[in-house]
A and B are shown apart, each in its own frame.
Chain A
Amino acid sequence: MATTTQTYVKSKVMGRPAFSISKLAGQVIFYGAVGFFVINLLLMVSTVVIDSFAQSWFKTLLPPAFTTHWYPDLADEHNMTQLLGNTFFVAISTTLIALAIAFPAAYVLARHQFRLKGLLYGLFLLPMLIPPLVYGIPLATMLIRVGLGGSLVGIVLVNLIPITPFVIFILTPFIEQVDPSLESASRMLGAGWFRTFRRIVLPLIIPGLLAAGVLALVRTFAAFELTYLVATTGSSQTLAVALYGDASGAGIRAHQLVNAMAVIYMLSTMSLVVVALIFVKPTQFVVSLKNR
């Protein structure tokens, strides 16, 4: 039954919202649970923002007095331009390189049947399934040995490891959706493979490339473990690493200062998320794993 693999959202036959106790109870529990989670999340994030403008905050509902001096202080302590520059540089170059090397591989996985395909699949799947810390420590050690420790190139390289397969598995279903007979038709109409690719395949894949690109961007932006293992020098740090450094070295800095950094971090990532949501349905964040 091929139909069972489809997603049946919003079936027309949904049942009329007739009043009944059990339905009401279900609604209360569902929206209660989800609401509790979401409200906690939002409040949690708001405390960070409020605190970054607080002179001090202790045992009260809201801070008694507000100030903006934590942000200039932050700029004194960190080279924020460099931090932001590093973060965006790493995120953007990782994404672009990942797209470039993942696209041909995704195309092959989507279009061709060959021996060893399963092996290839498995090889691409492994870096996504094995958590970064397991291979991160030997990898960082190796990068230090070849002299890439503490360099932005090294950080881009390590972030590419989980991101490239991630992009491959997002792109593959998009390419599968493009009817192969379109390519055949284009060739029968006299177009060479390059022209076929540029005029037929590429325009139809663009939504997939956008989705994969945006998701990779957001993920790399928040990536911590691998970057942390390689970013051994201050000048190669990204926002997430610097935030961790400030936060876990507690006691040295006022928490307002750390939270000011957190606000900068959030604003940057939120700007990416807003762009992401224009192009991508939220559930696509996990769709790659859903499709095996």
Chain B
Amino acid sequence: MLTSTPRRKRGTIAAAALAVIAIASLSACSTNSTSTSSSSSASAPATSAGSSSSSGGSNPLSPTGGGAVVVGSANFPESELLAEIYILALQAKGVKVTPKLNINSREVYYPQIKSGAISIIPEYNGTLLSVAVDPKSTAKSTADVDAALAADLPSTLEVLNPSSAQDSDSITVTAATAAKYHLTSIADLKPYASQLVLGAPPEFKTRADGIAGLKATYGLTFKSFVPLDESGPITLSALTGGRVQAADVFTTTPQIITDKLVTLTDPKFNFAAQNVIPLVNKSALTPTIESTLNAISAKLTTSALLQLDAAVIVQHANYSTVAAAFLKQAGLS
């Protein structure tokens, strides 16, 4: 076919094809990947690097105009949901808000909130401390982590009150396993761990609070370890299908509800606290903002957050609708 086409026409066809491919790839690159696609895990706050590539929508350094408060979020459903809650609550109190959602990862947004380009972002106290503020910190409990943050945060930043809602690593089992061995906390696993297979992200083998931490804190030695994913479809399938009997499922993963899983408590704080906490640039902080966000934190529990995540991730409900419903139910709108 091509050998019979004259050379000039071949060149034109080739150029046109290249142009189409270039335009298609450029438009694909600039499309902001939204959370409605495949992600079944609520978030990955315990990992240091955020998710890859998506280039995000707006330029976070562009002027916000007129003293509006900029509320940002990271690039996963739970973060976006929390930001929506903050935004609606603040707007209800008459604060002018500019949203800057779906910023790729902490590496990207942390410098921005430090400089004031972003004013408020929902954070998790444990990873904020261990990743951005003080990697050498050994603080584990909510109180210790918050104290370390208060001491070591850069001077432009401040954290408000933590909520009781946590999205952290956990050891989770099926309802059947919990009933069989009468499990409520990780400590209850001690006599049975040698019969059980543990599933968790691959880094559990080397992380201080992984296999080594479970042994040191609770004296657990599991029968074997299967490296899976970050509380995603592979981990959940392994747990519900019986490939593993205990797994690291992030505590606000919606499948905890839909698959009737049981998250064991961590009374000795093997996993550092990961309370949802508003991170604020001091220059934007006003008494209204402070009291509004603190009021939200007071009403946000892990089970409430779990229900909200289920609504947006499993039922694909609209973020604003879910956020508004939460605020109304909490008496905050």
Q: Tell whether A pairs with B.
A: no
